[in-house]
């Protein structure tokens, strides 16, 4: 909860700051800052209450029934029971890019989503290992923090876009304010991405470790991560908002040099190395 409150506070302050600077250009910074504050508070409440629905919508995921995906449901149900959690809902994303994520405020209303591309390249052991990683995120409510961050960061991006549009096409006579609004509108989304990065990388290592303990298949998870990483680097793209990157098991935007600089995930090669070390030092794992 401390991490969640700090993250929401920082992103909200950034949102208000962007509103104020854009307001300088339009001649009423206090009104813009107040409006941004109200919107930020509403976004915080809305993203907290509806983080699962927002994440599913932003990733174009569709919840499916057990009859539609019996294998997925069987694996998710078994892993959730082993973790002492209710069985999450299951969603499918129609995308050739292999990847997966989990979302929801907590274990009682969580969703685990995988892409059709992932199901096409992994075997059942690798799929189980990936899903165990996501179940671990659910257990520790990492998905709530990532979902709220993604929602507010997306709002900052849209506000910054409005600022750029106004700076380019507005009729303000305050050239200095216009230049400042233009600069801030470019820097603000990068700052929001840095906040996401700070809260995301450590939890990926944690979910790898605990997911491997849950499935008892660290090498299968390492293999799956390698396949997902190779697909991302080969240019297989996901048509989703970049602010959702913390949600995914592997950053789907690895082909973009700037986005990789601000990656919300540790290097996949380091994650794989840790999992291989774990397999060597933990008896009974494969």
Structural domain contains residue 277: yes
The residues that are catalytic are 134
- Domain range for 254: 2-281
pLDDT higher than threshold 70 for residue 130:
yes
Structural domain contains residue 286: no
**What total of structural domains would you count in the chain?**
1
Report the chain's mean pLDDT, rounded to a whole number.
Answer: 81
Identify the sign of the CA torsion 95, 264, 161, 37: positive
pTM, full prediction? 0.73
* Residue in the block written with tokens 């919300």: 264
**pLDDT confidence of residue 107:** 85
Structural domain contains residue 258: yes
Give the C-alpha separation, 25 to 183, whole Å. 12
Structural domain contains residue 239: yes
Q: What is the mean pLDDT of residues 114-138?
A: 96
173 against 148, higher pLDDT:
148
**pLDDT confidence of residue 40:** 72
Q: What is the mean pLDDT of residues 12-29?
A: 74
Torsion of CA 236, 242, 243, 249, to 10 degrees: 10
Give the C-alpha separation, 12 to 272, whole Å. 35
pLDDT higher than threshold 60 for residue 15:
yes
Strand ordering across the sheet containing 61-64: 61-64, 89-93, 111-115, 100-103
Give the C-alpha separation, 143 to 102, whole Å. 6
CA distances to 71, 89, 105, 143, 218 from 148, in Å: 30, 19, 9, 8, 29
Residue 111 bridge partners (DSSP): 89, 103
């Amino acid at each position: 909860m401390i991490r969640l409150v700090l993250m929401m506070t920082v992103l909200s302050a950034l949102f208000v700051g962007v509103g104020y600077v854009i307001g300088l250009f339009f001649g009423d910074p206090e009104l813009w800052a107040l409006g941004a504050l109200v919107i930020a508070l509403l976004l915080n409440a809305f993203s907290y209450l509806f983080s699962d629905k927002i994440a599913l919508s932003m990733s174009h995921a569709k919840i499916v029934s057990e009859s539609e995906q019996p294998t997925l449901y069987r694996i998710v149900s078994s892993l959730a029971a082993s973790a002492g959690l209710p069985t999450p809902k299951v969603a499918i994303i129609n995308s050739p890019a292999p990847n997966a994520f989990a979302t929801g405020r907590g274990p009682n209303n969580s969703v685990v989503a995988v892409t059709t591309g992932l199901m096409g390249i992994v075997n059942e052991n690798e799929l189980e290992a990936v899903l165990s990683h996501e179940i671990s995120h659910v257990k520790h409510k990492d998905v709530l923090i990532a979902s709220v961050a993604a929602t507010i960061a997306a709002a900052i991006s849209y506000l910054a876009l409005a600022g750029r549009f106004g700076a380019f096409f507005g009729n303000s006579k305050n050239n200095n304010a216009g230049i400042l609004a233009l600069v801030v509108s470019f820097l603000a989304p990068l700052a929001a991405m840095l906040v996401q990065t700070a809260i995301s990388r450590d939890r990926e290592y944690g979910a790898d470790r605990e997911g491997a303990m849950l499935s008892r298949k660290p090498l299968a998870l390492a293999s799956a991560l390698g396949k997902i990483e190779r697909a991302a680097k080969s240019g297989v793209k996901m048509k989703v908002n970049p602010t959702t990157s913390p949600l995914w098991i592997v950053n789907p935007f690895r082909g973009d040099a700037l986005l990789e600089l601000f990656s919300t995930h540790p290097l996949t090669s380091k994650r794989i190395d840790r999992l291989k070390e774990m397999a060597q030092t933990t008896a009974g794992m494969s």
